[in-house]
Structure 1
Amino acid sequence: MNYEFTIIVPVYNEQDCLPHLFDELKAYLGKASVTTKVLFVDDGSSDRSPQLIKEFCLKTDHFNYLLFERNFGKGAALKAAFDHIDTPLLGYLDADLQTYPIDFEKLLPFAGKFDLVTGWRKQRKDTPVKRISSLIGNGVRNFFTKDHMHDTGCPLKIIKTNYAQNIPMFKGLQRFLPAMVLLQDGKIKEVEIPHYPRLAGESKYNFRNRFMGPLLDCFAYVWMKKSYISYKVSEKNE
């Protein structure tokens, strides 16, 4: 099958969410407006997530997996997925189902004209602490990156694969995807999407890793922006 779109799902200790997630992804693949497959990347989970992913993928068409030998972080999970993608478009979805796969249909109409299309969770369904820390984190990133995104960290995105594969790997990668596409002179767009309460499991985020980590990552981004090499060949002789 000639797939056009791959959905990447990074997973870390989400055994309670996975059965529902499997159902939602299977249902979406039957409705998707482009031919779609799914790539799970388990980031060294210590619960039953790797076993559940493996069992599901081995018996279900259009689903594949990568299992890390230990926890490397979400940025590493995304980069590993980028390196294994063979479709012109890729998407990114968190395993906690606070965003749903069907909402890729809100982004896909813009994927031709834009090189990255990201969701905007305008009506957040999070705890007050999570909302405030995300608001601060987005403000800090906007100060450094000037990407003018309302919701840089929204875990529902579509990226042209050639742009994603040119992004250098670093910790906190997922926080800077729009900015890294802009560094390549790409075009980005934000689209409002629904947001839902977490159904099961526990959030992996707190004030420290939503604010202090991103703040330090911003300094790394500033260095990378100054050092980033980008070029386009106008002509070559075969």
Structure 2
Amino acid sequence: MPELTIIIPVYNEAENLLRVEKALVEYRAIATKTTAFLFVNDGSTDKSEKLISEICEHNIDFHFISFTKNYGLSAALKAGFDWVESPLLGYIDSDLQTTPEDFNLLLEYIDEYDLVTGVRTGRKDDFVKNVSSKVANGIRRLFTQDGMQDTGCPLKVIKTDYAKRIPMFNGLHRFLPAMILLQKGHVHQIPVRHFPRIGGEAKFGVWNRIFGPLSACFAYLWMRRNYIRFEVKKNS
């Protein structure tokens, strides 16, 4: 049983997957915890599924789930959360704009916290993406009051039992720290490196980076008011 399983959602990232394989194999050699990897193919229409299957065939502790069609990032993460059995899980995007090496930075704090998330420093995105990301983060902070500077950073480590209790819905991947706080968990954020996208195309534009999160904020407020939380006093 690995101590950590890293979830890698994939949607039409065939251009990046060999680089992803190399980066993950190199990380496994320096990982501070025994690590497995789970690709979640979110209905890719390019050669991603074929490449993922080949990667998993010749790498131990590499696994995959493949959807029948594109369901979105929140569904891919939910599938990963359900599948993982290790006590810790991680999440990284397949565009490699963050590096698996920085998981070791996050893991330094995971004993003390229930979710540790990266904050991208020196963002290498274009002007429109940077501005829309800042606006989206500001909107989320206003609604959630979670104090997170960069909830969209695709580099996180979560204690699995907390992740499995998150009631996921479309768009909720943007609220993972807030959903840990709803469980009375503790969250922490640390700076991580950021790199330009080398291959493939970005899946989020201005519309789904700003207006998508805005609608999800209202769903989050409803959930926060109605979230079920209890403690067991005794059992037989």
Task: Give the TM-score range, shorter chain.
Answer: over 0.9
Percent identity of paired positions between Structure 1 and Structure 2: 51
Structure 2 distance, partners of 1:47, 1:142, is: 36
Within the alignment, does 1:145 sit opposite 2:144 as a pair? yes
Structure 1 distance, partners of 2:120, 2:20, is: 19
Number of the residue aligned with 1:95: 94
Structure 2 distance, partners of 1:232, 1:32, is: 35
Number of the residue aligned with 2:185: 186
* Secondary structure of the structure 2 residue equivalent to 1:110: coil
Within the alignment, does 1:130 sit opposite 2:126 as a pair? no
Number of the residue aligned with 1:173: 172
Structure 1 distance, partners of 2:174, 2:149, is: 12
Structure 2 distance, partners of 1:102, 1:163, is: 24
Give, in angstroms, the shift of residue 233 of structure 1. Answer: 1.5
The number of residue pairs the alignment matches comes to 236
Q: Which digits, 9 at most, give the CA deviation of each residue in 1:128-161, with x for residues without a partner? A: 0000000000000000000000001100000000
Structure 2: any 5+ residue segments left out of the alignment? none
Give, in angstroms, the shift of residue 205 of structure 1. Answer: 1.2
Q: Which digits, 9 at most, give the CA deviation of each residue in 1:5-59, with x for residues without a partner? A: 0000000000001010100001111110100000000000010001100111022
* Secondary structure of the structure 2 residue equivalent to 1:135: helix
- TM-score under structure 2 normalisation? 0.99
Structure 1: any 5+ residue segments left out of the alignment? none
Within the alignment, does 1:203 sit opposite 2:202 as a pair? yes
Number of the residue aligned with 2:110: 111
AA of the residue aligned to 2:69: R
Give, in angstroms, the shift of residue 174 of structure 1. Answer: 1.2
Structure 1 distance, partners of 2:204, 2:92, is: 16
AA of the residue aligned to 2:138: G
Structure 1 distance, partners of 2:154, 2:168, is: 18
Structure 2 distance, partners of 1:17, 1:231, is: 44
AA of the residue aligned to 1:41: V
Structure 2 distance, partners of 1:205, 1:151, is: 16
Structure 2 distance, partners of 1:34, 1:48, is: 31
